[in-house]
Amino acid sequence: MINLSDYVTAIKGINCTSALSLEGVKITGAYVCDMLSDVMGSAKPGQVWITIMKHLNIIAVASMTGIPAIIFAKGNEPDTAVIEKAIEEGIILISSKLPTFELAGKLYKLLNP
């Protein structure tokens, strides 16, 4: 388990939900997928979710699966409606310029030094 803030630093991530603090948030791993039906069935609580999917439904999926933060790859940024809903639900949204492979790789390395 590592601190979300350490991971966000490692991927040069930007917190799109600045109303939510990264302080004290621990993560156990990641689930990487762009199909929400699959995420609903397979993601585990405590994992971050690495994706390029930006539809509003991602917030509900994260909320119901216990995902603390969504990491958007390749510089993708969600629109205002998604950010507002995320703040309401307490889901942190991070945007990083890195591609999905590197986002997952960097997290794997942090978890398995």
| Among residues 14, 60, 110, 111, the one that binds another protein under rule CB under 8 A | 60
* Nearest residue (CB) to another protein, 34 versus 84: 34
Q: Residue 93: how many CB atoms within 10 A of its CB?
A: 26
DSSP, res 66: T
Q: Using CB under 8 A as the criterion, what x/- string covers residues 25-44 for binding another protein?
A: ---------xxxxxxx----
Distance CA 31, CA 46 (A): 10
56: contact with another protein by CB under 8 A: yes
> DSSP string spanning 77-92?
---HHHHHHHHHHT-E
66: contact with another protein by CB under 8 A: no
CA angle 54, 11, 74 (to 5 degrees): 40
89: contact with another protein by CB under 8 A: no
* Nearest residue (CB) to another protein, 18 versus 57: 57
